[in-house]
Structure 1
Amino acid sequence: MTGAATLPGGRPVSDLEAGRRAYRRSRSTRSALVAVASTVVVAAILTGVLVASPGWAVAQRTFLNPAEAVRVLPALLAGLWVNVYVLVFAAIGVAIGATALAIVRTTRAPVLAPLRLAATVYVDVFRGVPVIVMLYLIGFGVPALGLFGLIDPRLLGGVALVICYCAYVAEVLRAGIESVHPSQRLAARSLGLTYGQTLRLVVLPQGVRRVTPALMNDFVSMQKDVGLISVLGVVDVIRQAGIEVPNSYNYTSYVVAGLLFVLLSLPFIRVTDLLERRARARELQGSVV
């Protein structure tokens, strides 16, 4: 037995497993070095092609102007807060609505057949409607009814996003719920748990854990689509970038806006990778010797 490598419980692993871990580490190191080298080579080639192109000087001055980026950054950051505000509202709405839809679609109670049919129609319809079309329909159609007076376009944009993404996320949650083995439900019911308790304490936690990476991907996708609320006249980061362009005839503001969206999504992308690694580690725990 080796004393260096241990299992999560503190027990030492066998020499065979220690050898396997050492081999995996060596292969990982080699793969990382090859990946870094190939990335550097490709980046150098692309940079050389761009810099050597005939219009590089004009493109750099028009799209990658550092002075222009510094000038527009405060205004774009103010617009980004509008996107964050709408994103938080939409995320809460989608979490509630999609969970309700997934539960309705997975229930087998005969009395809820009309609700299951309605939920199925909703998911089929709104998964096929482009987000920008829904933004136009909700953003301009609802105020045209004249039933609610003046409505904040940020709210209308958030509602349109919730309507569309509830359909996407509900299907992901439904897949997670149905992936839980029926024996889990039977065991919970045999212990005296009601249907609601079984769903809340046993099925949903396992189902959500299995589809967490897919849910995080949907969240990142929604974070990008929040920028589409600019079509309703909301002065968010995209609209603010468009306002800045005529002032200087320079498109650097759009590049900065894109980078701000990337920075906003990076933490969620890294969290997704972390969750995937943790899930993979849990699956491999039972395979050590």
Structure 2
Amino acid sequence: MRNPDEPAVTADGWRPSRLQQERLAYRRRQTVRSGLIAGVSTVVVLVLVVVGIGSTPGWPRVRETFFDVDRGWEALPVVAQGLWLNIRVMIVCAILIVIFGLTLAILRTLRGPVFFPLRMFAAAYTDVFRELPLLLVIFLLGFGVPALQLRGLPNQAVIWGGAALVLTYSSYVAEVFRAGIESVHPSQRAAARSLGLTHRQTLRFVVLPQAVRRVMPPLLNDFVSLQKDSGLIAVLGVIDAIRAAQLETAEDFNFTPYVVAGILFVALTIPLTRLTDYVARRQGWYGGGGGPV
């Protein structure tokens, strides 16, 4: 039976030296020490925050108005039903944004004078919609287009609110994709063309796979923002999570439903945020100085 104090031996007979064992033991002790310090400091800060807020004169009123547990449970089913609309809008918009944004990025990177009108259109589009506030675009499309009473166009507010999200976010995503495409070294294109690939094949099989892989972390960050901004369609009267919380609040002027909506949005956003951090670490976006927790 092996002595636990002796260093382990691998299958090929290699055994770490005594110095290496000491280094590993020191690192384990430092990891445990850092974890304990982080845990204690977190508990201390939370206690100070709770005690500080709880000792304020207006805290009882705030707790009754914003953190009523019974009122929160009562409003949860209605707000969650509204959140399901936000999720559907976000999924459909995300698919359209990727398609439209990638198309704009490709148009921006086309070469040759014959493609100048397409490049100019893509550049003008991204400039305009990146400068316009998203809320203003939602108002213009949600109230302006149905007022035209054009035949064949839908009048549902959720459709035009989603269209505003797609138009605005496509301009940002297009620039992300364009940065990824231009980050691919020109020698990659030259090598592909020398092998007989056409321009379209080079873009599809050589450039785009590398570009998409490189821009995945910032692209996921845009979708995190999209999850939150999908709640802005509530200004058009759509019964989403925020609008549902507003209607619940109007019954008794208790703002706990807003807190419930905020908690649900946070619970929806955290998984994608953690996925973004994971992908960023895998691709080396966070350096030796440390990344997000």
Specify the TM-score bucket, using the shorter chain as the normaliser. Answer: 0.7 to 0.9
Residues 140-187 of structure 1, C-alpha deviation per residue, up to 9 Å, x if partnerless?
111111113652111111100000000011111111111111121122
State the partner residue of 1:39: 42
Letter in 1 for 2:183: S
Q: State how 1:61-80 maps to structure 2 within 5 Å.
A: 61-80=64-83
Q: State how 1:153-172 maps to structure 2 within 5 Å.
A: 153-172=157-176
Distance, in Å, in 2 between the alignment partners of 1:176 and 1:230 is: 34
- Structure 1 residue runs without a partner (length 5+): 285-289
Q: State how 1:1-20 maps to structure 2 within 5 Å.
A: none
* Residue 215 to residue 26, structure 1, CA distance change in 2 (3 Å): farther
Give the percent of matched residue pairs that are identical in Structure 1 and Structure 2: 50
State the partner residue of 2:53: 50
Displacement after TM superposition at 1:25 (Å)? 6.4
Displacement after TM superposition at 1:30 (Å)? 4.7
* Residue 199 to residue 28, structure 1, CA distance change in 2 (3 Å): farther
Displacement after TM superposition at 1:26 (Å)? 6.2
Q: State how 1:238-249 maps to structure 2 within 5 Å.
A: 238-249=242-253
* Residue 99 to residue 150, structure 1, CA distance change in 2 (3 Å): closer
* Residue 3 to residue 107, structure 1, CA distance change in 2 (3 Å): farther
* Residue 14 to residue 116, structure 1, CA distance change in 2 (3 Å): farther
State the partner residue of 2:281: 277
Give yes or no for the alignment of 1:207 onto 2:211: yes
Give yes or no for the alignment of 1:251 onto 2:263: no
**Count of residues in correspondence between the two structures:** 276
Alignment check: 8 A CA contact 2:108 2:123 kept: yes
State the partner residue of 2:102: 99
Distance, in Å, in 2 between the alignment partners of 1:56 and 1:109 is: 66
Distance, in Å, in 2 between the alignment partners of 1:208 and 1:140 is: 36
State the partner residue of 2:199: 195
Alignment check: 8 A CA contact 2:8 2:16 kept: no
- Kindly report the root-mean-square deviation, in angstroms, between the aligned alpha carbons of the 2 structures: 2.7
Displacement after TM superposition at 1:28 (Å)? 5.3
* Residue 197 to residue 33, structure 1, CA distance change in 2 (3 Å): farther
Displacement after TM superposition at 1:274 (Å)? 1.2
Alignment check: 8 A CA contact 2:80 2:241 kept: yes
Residues 229-259 of structure 1, C-alpha deviation per residue, up to 9 Å, x if partnerless?
0111101110010000121220000000011
- Structure 2 residue runs without a partner (length 5+): 1-6, 289-293
Distance, in Å, in 2 between the alignment partners of 1:105 and 1:192 is: 24
Residues 243-282 of structure 1, C-alpha deviation per residue, up to 9 Å, x if partnerless?
001212200000000111111111111111111121129x
Letter in 2 for 1:110: P
Structure 2 length-normalised TM = 0.86
Distance, in Å, in 2 between the alignment partners of 1:279 and 1:235 is: 40
